[in-house]
Amino acid sequence: MLNHRRFMSLLLALGAFALLAGCSNEGSDPLATGPTGDDYDSLDFSDEFGGLTASDEDEAFGEDALKALLLAEENEEVADPLCDDAQVRAWERLGNLPANAHDPARPHFTYVRLRWGMLRGPEDTLAVEPPCGATDWTGVIRADRGTVVVKRLIRFERPLDHVIWPRLDRQTVALVSHTYCGFDGIVLQIIEPPLATGQEAPETPNKLHIDMPLYSAEFNVADLADLDEVTPVDDLGNAFQITGFGLTDIDYCPKGFLSGAWRMLPDTAVAVVDSCDGCGIRMGKWLGAWTDLTGRLKGFMRGGYGVNAEGERVFVGKAIGRGGRFHALIRGTWEPAGAENELATFQGEWVLAGGSVDGLLGGEAHPVEGYPGGFYVGRWTTLCDDEAAEKVR
């Protein structure tokens, strides 16, 4: 875990949303462009993009909590010796080529993103105030079959928190982890090799086993692709979160994880947009970041959710690169939870500056006790991967 005294404002290891590949349908009408920086407090929800423009922004939208993510990246890199394994390299070369998702001659890749501790979002108002006692998460993560590669550590405070090297075997990851007011996490790649000629598929499903002091579970690896689960583990606010993505193509069409924070506005009556007639109602706002499958930060996202003049629930925003360069505008829909303006789920697409739809995104929102909002997690994909698109929808 990153030192909580130095990085208390960094309270979300954010997952992903990417805009890199050119597998899109070209549009003819370019989006409006404007000066650097848009007004996210005066969104027009009757406009398809909330009135946002295809303009650049300040780095990380000028938010210190997001900038801290960039500073933390170097500490999150990990060198698993299996990354240089000849067989792993050969499988990944196949995964970087165009794929038929049902081709039995190709390996299958499952990426799983795990986080544990005080899960929050990148806003200072969501911080857990110290002191926080140490919570021990030291344990073992193991798959029954295949090869498990450690791709990234999330907020590990090394050398105290670390993966135990050498590994016991290709299927097992043992780790030492302690959290205080924040959280730790890990991104794993599970590679299931293709069947040899004449070889029959195993009768029993391949399972992922997680064994920690406060959390133990097992999952079918095949089910991880559709899994996005948050489990509270104690009365202090600690939780365990798991998000998966199962693929045969890992890089030909970029895809990955996304996460961030969301906040309800205190009263929908106060949230009525007064800048114009028919602009709809602002229900809340959101802020986050997107990474690739390995957990590497690619950029940031910001926007809001509300209701347009026709009464439809609208989810809008903008995605930028690491330095603030415009990537895409976001449009979609959302569903409420218990309260009318409480975010539960969202789904949408992103549109490039030329007007072409280039990808999909979707996720779930989770509340934080005592705060009018919480954090969200989800996935993104470019459109050229039908297999991944089904996971996001």
The separation between the first and the last C-alpha atoms of the chain, rounded to the nearest angstrom, is: 32
300 or 21: whose pLDDT is higher?
A: 300
Q: Which residues contact 6 (CB under 8 A, 6 or more apart)?
A: none
Length of the chain: 393
pLDDT confidence band for 19 (50 / 70 / 90): very low
What's the rounded Cα separation, in Å, for the pair 381 and 350? 10
Structure-token match 């996001």, residue found? 392
pLDDT 10s digits, 164-183: 999 999 999 999 999 999 89
Mean pLDDT of the chain, nearest integer: 84
Q: Are 118 and 366 in contact (CB under 8 A)?
A: no
pTM more than 0.75 = yes
| CA angle (106, 110, 111) in 5-degree steps | 135
Task: Report the amino acid identity of residue 223.
Answer: D
pLDDT 10s digits, 88-143: 999 888 888 776 656 667 888 999 999 999 988 776 667 787 888 999 999 999 99
Q: Are 350 and 361 in contact (CB under 8 A)?
A: yes
Structure-token match 């986050």, residue found? 288
What's the rounded Cα separation, in Å, for the pair 225 and 250? 13
- Percent helix, strand, coil in the chain, to 5, is 10, 40, 50
pLDDT 10s digits, 174-225: 999 999 998 999 999 999 998 777 778 888 999 999 999 999 999 999 999 8
Per-residue pLDDT, 84: 92
Structure-token match 């394994």, residue found? 85
Helices (H) and strands (E) in the chain, counts: 3, 20
Q: Are 98 and 387 in contact (CB under 8 A)?
A: no
pLDDT confidence band for 270 (50 / 70 / 90): very low
pLDDT confidence band for 387 (50 / 70 / 90): low
Read off the pLDDT of each residue in 321-335 and give the average, rounded to a whole number.
Answer: 96
pLDDT confidence band for 320 (50 / 70 / 90): very high
